[in-house]
Amino acid sequence: KQWYQRRVAITAGNLLKEIRESWKHSRIFLGRNKVMALSIGRTMESEYKKDLHKISKGLHGKRGLLFTNEKVEEVKEYFKSHKKLCFARSGSVATETVVLPEGPLDLPHSMEPHLRQLGLPTKLKDGVIVLNQEHTVCTAGQALSTQEAVILKHLGNSMAEFNIELMSHWSDGAFTVLSESGTAMDAADDDFGDEVIEDANEN
């Protein structure tokens, strides 16, 4: 059995479901990192098998575990090619500056009150949503606010990329770092919090 430590760059439920469907022959766990680390052992003295504590040390932030019998190169190739654009969430860094010109917006008229609540200078004119003036939704290089992320989603702007990076690999007592990020053992992000550990084969 081979174990991989993975980092999920953008958490996207539907896309993760697709991967689970493709990997029914394996097991994917995302959940409370501390619980997962405890289950395989945090130290040399408590580890389930030799060098598994090295996997535990890297379990922080948006990381999980993949258990599989597939060949290493096949696993690496699959996750390297499995990338998709998706909507950015608040806190994500804008990859481009989005400016809406003054004039009509191609959105349902019923959304106008909601758009005003999000900070857009809009009004209804003859049943059409109109922007009263040019408006900058976001600026490249700056973190998105909740309102900006919602506006971009309404506009259909997929600014984020969903991908899973393989951080490290363990098999038969041999531990291997697959990514430079996998060598960083200090917690850089919060745990998944109250998410329940999920099994790839669960519906």
Strands of 63-68's sheet in order across: 27-29, 63-68, 2-8, 164-171, 174-177
pTM score: 0.58
State how far the alpha carbon of 113 is from the alpha carbons of 11, 47, 103, 126, 195, in Å: 29, 56, 17, 15, 33
Q: In whole angstroms, what is the distance from residue 183 CA to residue 177 CA?
A: 7
pLDDT at 12: 56
Is the CB of residue 11 less than 8 Å from the CB of residue 62? yes
Q: Which residues of 20-54 are buried (b: 16+ CB within 10 A; e: fewer)?
A: beebeebbbbbbbbeebbeebbbeeeebeeeebbb
pLDDT tens sequence across 34-44: 898 998 999 99
Report the half-sphere exposure of 59 (CA within 13 A, side-chain side): 27
pLDDT tens sequence across 104-132: 999 999 999 999 999 999 999 999 999 99
